[in-house]
Amino acid sequence: MIGKKEKQPLPPKPKDQMPHVKLNMTYKEWMHRHEGRHTWRNRRWAFVIFINLLFVVSFTFDLAVLEGSLNGSRLIGFYLMDPYVSLELATISLRTHYWHNVTMNMIIGIITILTFYFLMGGRTFCSWVCPYHFIAEWAEKLHKYLVKKRKIKEHHFNRGLRYVFWVGFLILALVTKRLIFQEINPVGIVSRALIYGPGLILLWILALITFEIVYSQRFWCRYVCPIGTTWSIVGKLSPVTIKFEYEKCGHCRKCQDVCLVPHVLWFVVKGRATQAQHYVGSDCIKCGYCVDICPGDALNFSIKGLSKIV
Amino acid sequence: MADPRDKLNRREFLKQSAWVAGGLVVSAVGLPFLIESHAIEPKVGELLRPPGSIEEDEFIYACIKCGLCVQICPVHAIKLADVDEGLGYATPYINAREQACDFSCDSIQCAETCPTAALNFKIFRNASTKKAEELQPLVEKGELDPMESWRLQIHAMKEATRIGVAKVNDQTCLAYQGKGFKGTPRGKDFKGVLRYEKISERKPQPVREQYFDREICDLCVIHCPIGETAIKMVEKELPDGRKTKVPEVERGCTGCGTCEMICPTEPASIVVLPQKTYEEVYS
């Protein structure tokens, strides 16, 4: 990592300090302790369905609760704007000077949503709101199953690619004077398809999902989606995060098996953690799978700095 | 890092980035070419945009495809375009024949709600303010009822709309043949609604429940939400010497499409030419 000093990892724990020994359990027993616990997953799925249903219901029954779509919406009269589409529009405005026409509502909407997701952890959006993520989560399960059965091979790309796409789509917008990314943006497409009815464009979503199932795990979310990248940047200094306590960890790596962005949990590997406490990076989508599965309860939702205040 | 397969290798990154950059460059060069040559946007430019829409070349990027205008329209006139509309995907349009905008909401809500001003509400606010200033002395003198002044302000907002212009097909128009119309225009299965203020001041009514008996068909004229500054019946002599009255589109036509929606002939004998001005069509 650039500009980061390599810290010395903590010394390995003596056997009597391992969490399973403290609980008088065998390692195997201990490891499977919380299998089947889905508290956070159930909360999250309920929330994703709730928020997207709220959009649908607001349109179908003409309620002024949550109107619009995930590109831009109005929550009981307060505007919420997707920051990346706003950024695209701002980029095109460099050439056309359109930006001074946009309404105050839009500016307020951008500030509101940036503040909200800064507080809530940036990519929290992905797992708690994004309808494409919800579909892709199921596709990912199928993909993992097929890989396990050796029906297909896994293909990885470099995660840094999403920054190339992030800049690339902005440049593309600037050159073509069109919101090119919005033509293929699965977040907006799925959101609108749910609310305003399906269209031919869903074939693109089908193609994308198929690609993710048979070729590369979570291709769009991991390597392309500039919306997720934006939230990742916004969430860099966010207070809401997942806290890791070294003392409670038994290095079983069950969390990494269930994690949707496993690289954020690098510190659970034996001999990697450098501090008694670690916070996950901003790529974490706060899905809570690791919190549910961790047999030692070493991973938990936490608010940075809260202990200092209280 | 943790997962050895999850590469953060510099050479890999540069190689894959080169592919991505290449793809983006091809799109950056190819897309403007396709747009310029009109190869991939067969219908953009022919879509009737909602009231307040700015010039199409700006509209196409200013619209962020959020759907708030679709949501707020009380008569559900606004639809989002699908991919077969070329690069206009998910931008709002009105199919006037199915359901036109008859300004049922009064306040041009679609434009008011648009966050990016792709539907520009300033046009309407200015029109309303101008009218208010004009009428203020009359209201102060007591010559004009404040409610009436308010109504005129709303009407001024509607009049400020310019999304297209209507054109009569004199070959098929019933009035041009000296014919009348008796019955329900568009039949009993038609789903469209329009505001009939005599029935309900606020609530739009289904067209299929209406009955008309006109000696000479003037449905487009009596349904026009703008009035005779937009369309009116004028005297005309038929080739066989009979005298009749025919609809004539005036400069005040906003292009809302209510006439196209109500026209009882199939296909409609009066259609809106989207994104055209009166001058472009009639001179």
A226-263: pLDDT as tens digits: 999 999 999 998 999 999 999 999 999 999 999 999 89
Residue B158 CA to residue B252 CA, distance in Å, equals: 10
Same-domain status, A226 and A304: no
Residue A120 CA to residue A136 CA, distance in Å, equals: 22
Place of tokens 């472009």: B280
With residue A118 as reference, give the H or E element that holds it. Answer: helix A104-120
Distance from CA of B45 to the nearest CA of A (A): 15
Beta carbon pairs, A and B, within 8 Å: 164
Q: Are B195 and B210 in contact (CB under 8 A)?
A: no
Same-domain status, A63 and A201: yes
* Predicted confidence (pLDDT) at residue A173 exceeds the cutoff of 70: yes
- The angle that helices A202-214 and A186-196 make with each other, rounded to 10 degrees, is 130
Query: Residues A90-107: pLDDT tens digits?
Result: 999 999 999 999 999 999
**What pLDDT is stored for residue B30 in this prediction?**
80
Percent of chain A at pLDDT exceeding 90: 77
Last residue of a domain, one of A233, A256, A277: A233
Average pLDDT of B167-185?
A: 93
Across the interface, which of B7, B57, B70 has its CB nearest the CB of A158?
A: B7
Residue A247 is assigned to a structural domain of this protein: yes
Same-domain status, A229 and A138: yes
Residue B216 CA to residue B233 CA, distance in Å, equals: 10
The reply to whether residue A158 touches residue B17, judged by beta carbons under 8 angstroms, is: yes
**How many H helices and E strands in chain B?**
9, 10
Same-domain status, A118 and A158: yes
Distance from CA of A153 to the nearest CA of B (A): 12
**Mean pLDDT rounded to a whole number for chain B:** 89
Among residues 67-126 of chain A, which lie with CB inside 8 Å of chain B? 67-69, 71-74, 79, 81-82, 85-86, 88-89, 92, 96, 98, 101-103, 105-106, 109
- Of the candidates B197, B114, B190, the one whose C-alpha atom is nearest the C-alpha of residue B155 is B197
Least confident of A2-6, A160-164, A292-296, B196-200: A2-6
Which chain B positions have a beta carbon within 8 Å of A204's beta carbon?
83
Residue B188 CA to residue B99 CA, distance in Å, equals: 15
Residue B267 CA to residue A96 CA, distance in Å, equals: 40
Q: What is the residue type of B63? A: C
Same-domain status, A170 and A258: no
What's the Cα-to-Cα distance from A25 to each of A28, A228, A285, rounded to whole Å?
8, 41, 32
The reply to whether residue A176 touches residue B120, judged by beta carbons under 8 angstroms, is: no
Q: Are B115 and A72 in contact (CB under 8 A)?
A: yes
Query: Residues B30-77: pLDDT tens digits?
Result: 877 776 766 655 555 688 999 999 998 899 999 999 999 999 999 999
The reply to whether residue B58 touches residue A98, judged by beta carbons under 8 angstroms, is: yes
**What pLDDT is stored for residue B2 in this prediction?**
43
- Of the candidates A217, A308, A268, the one whose C-alpha atom is nearest the C-alpha of residue A13 is A268
**What pLDDT is stored for residue B130 in this prediction?**
96
Which chain A positions have a beta carbon within 8 Å of B83's beta carbon?
199-201, 204
Same-domain status, A216 and A293: no
**What pLDDT is stored for residue A5 in this prediction?**
57
**What pLDDT is stored for residue B39 in this prediction?**
60
* Predicted confidence (pLDDT) at residue B169 exceeds the cutoff of 50: yes
Distance from CA of B60 to the nearest CA of A (A): 6
* Predicted confidence (pLDDT) at residue B206 exceeds the cutoff of 70: yes
The reply to whether residue B21 touches residue A164, judged by beta carbons under 8 angstroms, is: yes
Same-domain status, A21 and A111: no
**What pLDDT is stored for residue B29 in this prediction?**
81
Query: Residues A24-44: pLDDT tens digits?
Result: 899 999 999 998 899 999 999
CATH of the domain at A272: 3.30.70.20
Residue A116 CA to residue B81 CA, distance in Å, equals: 31
B106 φψ region: left (φ > 0), alpha (ψ -120 to 50), beta (else): left
B2 Cβ under 8 Å from any chain A Cβ: yes
What's the Cα-to-Cα distance from B146 to each of B18, B126, B153, B154, rounded to whole Å?
67, 19, 10, 12
Across the interface, which of A92, A109, A161 has its CB nearest the CB of B115?
A: A109
The number of residues making up chain A comes to 310
Average pLDDT of B128-156?
A: 93
> Can you name the residues that pair with B183 across neighbouring β-strands?
B212
Same-domain status, A200 and A247: no
Return the DSSP state at B206. Answer: E
**What pLDDT is stored for residue B38 in this prediction?**
65
Same-domain status, A169 and A294: no
* Predicted confidence (pLDDT) at residue B88 exceeds the cutoff of 50: yes
A307 Cβ under 8 Å from any chain B Cβ: no
Supply the range of the domain harboring residue A266.
Answer: 15-27+239-309
**What pLDDT is stored for residue A6 in this prediction?**
67
The reply to whether residue B6 touches residue A176, judged by beta carbons under 8 angstroms, is: no
Q: Are B135 and B144 in contact (CB under 8 A)?
A: yes
- Of the candidates B188, B204, B196, B201, the one whose C-alpha atom is nearest the C-alpha of residue B223 is B196
The reply to whether residue B71 touches residue A58, judged by beta carbons under 8 angstroms, is: yes
Among residues 32-71 of chain B, which lie with CB inside 8 Å of chain A? 32, 35, 54, 57-58, 60-62, 64-68, 70-71
Last residue of a domain, one of A182, A202, A233: A233
pLDDT grade, residue A1 (50/70/90)?
very low
Give the 3-state secondary structure of residue B277. coil
> Can you name the residues that pair with A279 across neighbouring β-strands?
A243
**What pLDDT is stored for residue A4 in this prediction?**
53
Same-domain status, A115 and A252: no
Average pLDDT of A145-161?
A: 91
* Predicted confidence (pLDDT) at residue A136 exceeds the cutoff of 90: yes
Q: What is the residue type of A219? A: F
Residue A34 is assigned to a structural domain of this protein: no
Average pLDDT of B8-31?
A: 83
Same-domain status, A81 and A135: yes
Residue B108 CA to residue B49 CA, distance in Å, equals: 13
Number of domains in chain A: 2
Domain boundaries in chain B? Answer: 122-159, 164-282
* Predicted confidence (pLDDT) at residue B135 exceeds the cutoff of 50: yes
A65 Cβ under 8 Å from any chain B Cβ: no
Q: Which of A73, A112, A169, A183 is most worth mutating to test chain B (most B CB atoms within 10 A of its CB)?
A: A183
Least confident of A54-58, A144-148, A303-307, B56-60: A303-307
CB-facing half-sphere around the CA of A60: CA atoms within 13 A: 10
Q: What is the residue type of B197? A: E
* Predicted confidence (pLDDT) at residue B123 exceeds the cutoff of 70: yes
Same-domain status, A152 and A205: yes
Residue B275 CA to residue B163 CA, distance in Å, equals: 5
Q: Are B270 and B247 in contact (CB under 8 A)?
A: yes
Largest CA distance in chain B: 92
Return the residue of A nearest to B75 by Cα: A62
Residue A37 is assigned to a structural domain of this protein: no
**What pLDDT is stored for residue B5 in this prediction?**
46
Percent of chain B at pLDDT exceeding 70: 92
Return the residue of A nearest to B24 by Cα: A168
Distance from CA of B177 to the nearest CA of A (A): 42
* Predicted confidence (pLDDT) at residue B1 exceeds the cutoff of 60: no
Last residue of a domain, one of A203, A233, A263: A233
